Amino acid sequence: MARKKIIAGNWKMNMTPSEALKLVEDLKPLVNNDAVDVVYCVPAIDIVPVVEAVKGTNVQIGAENFYIEDKGAFTGEISAPMLVDAGVKYIIIGHSERRDIFGESDILINKKVKKAFASGLSPILCCGESLELRESGAYTEWIKRQIKWDLEGVTADQVKNLVIAYEPIWAIGTGKTATADQAQEACKLIRDYIAELYDAPTAEAVRIQYGGSMNAGNAAELLSKPDIDGGLIGGASLKVDFAQIVNA
Ligand code: 13P
């Protein structure tokens, strides 16, 4: 069965609640495309109003972060049951900004993937290499190691419902997109590795996105590649241009 494409915005630390509502309203008539899954991953404070604002549309809401405990003394954190109760469907895990700025390890990321599945959230698991690793050629081993550690103990049935985002760090927010061939090569590498870790049907089912300076101009070419099943979009998801990626 053909994999359904998934176009997700990662708003990062942008959009006050009122700005968020305006963007959602502006996008509403433009992203009405049932052929793809459309997701807005939004800051915690925007979740409640945005879930309300997209009711009755094809858009689903994701969160950008959570903690692995259900509740308790974890000042500043938000839990999976809180997100689920608020109507959140997807959760970004392992973004390079959380790994690099907030020190999240593969051990924590693995716990988050398992907790997300156990809670009924669909993880969007991010991986990807630095410029140094890209230039040295060691990026293939690096990506495989991230996938192996982050999916330790995760079942094949869960991986079939997983979204993996390949996001080369050197392409994030830099305007320097990976070429469609580079992105395809890495996404295929990930799919082949899932086949090795699990089996062919699991590799066929898992959806793999590209992320990194994806925009209205380059989306169609990236999305035409056989192993690229969607995009995780930062900067370009904050504008109505995002609709052009959804419809690319
Ligand atoms: P940009 O699209 O701004 O490069 O960000 C990509 C990204 O990090 C999405 O998670």
pLDDT at 176: 82
CB 167 within 8 A of CB 96: yes
CB 212 within 8 A of CB 167: yes
Cα 177 to ligand 1 centre (Å): 10
Q: Which of 25, 69, 95, 204 is catalytic?
A: 95
- pLDDT tens across 198-211, in order? 999 999 999 999 99
Domain residue limits at 185: 5-246
pLDDT at 177: 85
Strand partners, 223: none
Side-chain-facing half-sphere of 196: CA atoms under 13 Å: 10
pLDDT at 54: 98
Q: Which of 97, 104, 129, 167 is catalytic?
A: 167
Domains held by the chain: number:
1
Cα 166 to ligand 1 centre (Å): 11
- pTM exceeds 0.85, yes or no: yes
Q: Which helix (H) or strand (E) holds 119?
A: helix 106-119
pLDDT at 103: 98
Give the CATH number, domain containing residue 167: 3.20.20.70
- Cα 18 to chain center, whole Å? 24
Which long-range CB contacts under 8 A does 141-145 form with residues at least 24 apart? 143/186, 143/189, 143/190, 143/193, 144/189, 144/193
pLDDT at 194: 98
* pLDDT under 70: residue ranges of the chain: 1
